[in-house]
Amino acid sequence: MGEWWDEFAEAGARARRALVREVVREVEADGETVDAVWRDAFAEVPRHLFVPYYYVPGPGGYERLWSGDPERERRDRWLSGAYEDTALATRVRDGELLSSASQPSLMALMLQALDVRDGDDVLEIGAGTGYHAALLCHRLGEEHVTTLDLDEEIVESARTHLAAAGYRPAVIVGDGARGCAERAPYDRVVATCAVPSVPYPWLAQCRPGALVLAPLSTGLLLLRVRDATHAEGRFLATSAYFVALRGAAGRAPHPEPAGDERFRFLWGLVGGTLDRREALSLWLRERRPERERFGVTVSGDRQWSWLDDPGGPYAWPLPDA
């Protein structure tokens, strides 16, 4: 293995440069640009440290690739895969995906949407491998980053990966739906797991004017917080599929796998309120609306999704948070 490890640092640097190019290409294909600070973060933070092993689909299930494999060809596959612009399955139990490392270009879109500024304090819901938190640490400094997960094993693993990369943010075991009051207030909250509605503790732990970014249905909802019980915002243009939040609010709906992707998004928002025929009729009548036409309002103890206008005719209550 010695020769391979001698070549490892150079191969890793090349792979990071290739990843940055791929991330920029994918983001620009969506009509966006990648800010220089995030290009630097993806170039400097070594993703392979956060995925010392991962799983790839195979004929008989999942195949495990890892950094310590005795076969060089499999180690090369592991390193190459770690820097592909794709999501990686990192925890599988009884054939069920429990945790994954998100696609880097999707991370870039989310990080840019957060619009963080120097001095901002960020709460991340869903520690995952720790890679997303590391990117935030690179931009803001580790003292401004808190990442939270319900699973003690995931938290310990993320903490180990972050330390290996030189970052020591607050990595905490806890129910993501309840946030992390002891580290509040926050300027940004970002979830890397899907929610069925907006947990109220997140808003209560935010400063006025904070942004909350969370996967809901098959989209990414960006809310501006007014105060502890009021927030409003729209969905980003991109699609997004995340593992559901586990814990008090972890009852995310499962949109239908078949059909037009934009209809699946609508069905994920309104499936508990409209039957499928009503939802399809609305979708066709409104000419297959894009995600950006939809939004969510939180007001007091109510929250609802809507099309075009929070007070308009098309509005649907979200589940209790």
Catalytic residues: 99
Q: Which residues contact 124 (CB under 8 A, 6 or more apart)?
A: 132, 133, 136, 145, 146, 147, 148, 189, 190, 191, 192
CB 227 within 8 A of CB 208: yes
Question: Rounded to whole angstroms, how far apart are CA atoms 271 and 6?
Answer: 55
Burial of residue 36, with CB atoms counted within 10 A of its CB: 0-12 exposed, 13-18 middle, 19 or more buried: exposed
Question: Rounded to whole angstroms, how far apart are CA atoms 213 and 202?
Answer: 11
Tokens for 33, please give them: 């640009």
Q: Which residues contact 255 (CB under 8 A, 6 or more apart)?
A: 217, 218, 264, 265, 267, 268, 271
| 177 three-state secondary structure | helix
Nearest CA among 190, 193, 223, 191 for reference residue 305: 223
CA–CA–CA angle 245, 309, 209 (5° rounding)? 60
How many angstroms separate the first and last alpha carbons of the chain? 51
